[in-house]
Copies of this chain bind each other. A is one copy, B any other.
């Protein structure tokens, strides 16, 4: 590190590990009613969005997360038409969801409008589908929104939230998952970002337990690289109402998908369906 260098370093207490990026400078900052949002320019990772000191996304590497929280669950569901995204204010997940031609409507409900305003300004590529006729953008409390949805009206719920502290705390407990369960059709699927599969396996276990209390029967945690999150390895967890769900996916459709991805492929999806042995053991699988 030269004396001239400036770095953003996030010391993440739960994993005892840190990540960071070399900066060119700070571009913007806003204090919303909910959180502090900062935008930095970096030397090698494009722009960075930081919320309450936690790295949210970079231009360079957000595709891992956005693709992996969207495509596996959508290719697992037999025919997803109605999708709800809770959180996801940067709109990157919405963009991926709308790549699926069978999706008829996708509602994004994020509590903080300022996240979307900052994304429109600094990550316009993630917002390129916001004008899609199938897209609905709400700025509201996701917990209340989910609780008020008609029963059995949704095919896939995607919980694209921050860590389970602060504004997102209510998105990791039984009451919220009960709303998701009720809103989903019988073959509906819930997917949620589930933190580091190396360092936070206890949290994944706790989250699955809360989902189970709400009625979900089967779970599958899919790991993927995510350099801008602590440990550089992250996960999503899919929950099904079906006790015997094997999370087999529409492999032929995934292989013949008519849209571009940077990370997701059908063979990769097949590969991650088998948990690494240390994860399987910790999560009591197999």
Q: Which of B9, B45, B225 sits near A16, CB closer than 8 Å?
A: B45
Q: Which of B44, B226, B262, B274 sits near A268, CB closer than 8 Å?
A: B274
Find out whether the CB atom of A18 lies under 8 angstroms from the CB atom of B11: no
Among residues 206 to 250 in chain A, which have CB atoms less than 8 Å away from a CB atom of chain B?
Answer: 223, 225-227, 231-233
Q: Which of B17, B20, B44, B273 sits near A21, CB closer than 8 Å?
A: B17
Contact A15:B44 (CB < 8 A) given known A61-B198, A263-B278: yes
Q: Would you call A4 an interface residue if the criterion is a C-beta within 8 Å of the partner chain's C-beta atoms? A: no
Which size bracket describes the interface of A in this complex? Answer: 35 or more
Q: Would you call A7 an interface residue if the criterion is a C-beta within 8 Å of the partner chain's C-beta atoms? A: yes
State how many copies of this chain the complex holds: 2
Q: Which residues on the B side are within 8 Å of A269 (C-beta)?
A: 271
User: What's the nearest-Cβ distance from chain B to residue A79, in Å?
Assistant: 25
Find out whether the CB atom of A227 lies under 8 angstroms from the CB atom of B17: yes
Give the distance in Å from the alpha carbon of A161 to the alpha carbon of B227 in the complex.
22
Q: Which residues on the B side are within 8 Å of A226 (C-beta)?
A: 232
Give the distance in Å from the alpha carbon of A25 to the alpha carbon of B252 in the complex.
53
Q: Which residues on the B side are within 8 Å of A1 (C-beta)?
A: 11, 13
Find out whether the CB atom of A267 lies under 8 angstroms from the CB atom of B270: yes
A interface residues with partner B (beta carbon < 8 Å): 1, 5, 7, 9, 11, 13, 15-22, 42-45, 60-61, 63, 198-199, 223, 225-227, 231-233, 260-265, 267-274, 276-278
Residue contacts A-B, CB under 8 angstroms, 26 given: A1-B11, A5-B11, A7-B11, A9-B9, A9-B18, A11-B20, A11-B22, A15-B44, A16-B21, A16-B22, A17-B22, A18-B19, A18-B21, A19-B20, A20-B20, A60-B198, A198-B225, A227-B233, A232-B233, A261-B277, A262-B277, A263-B276, A265-B274, A267-B270, A267-B271, A267-B274
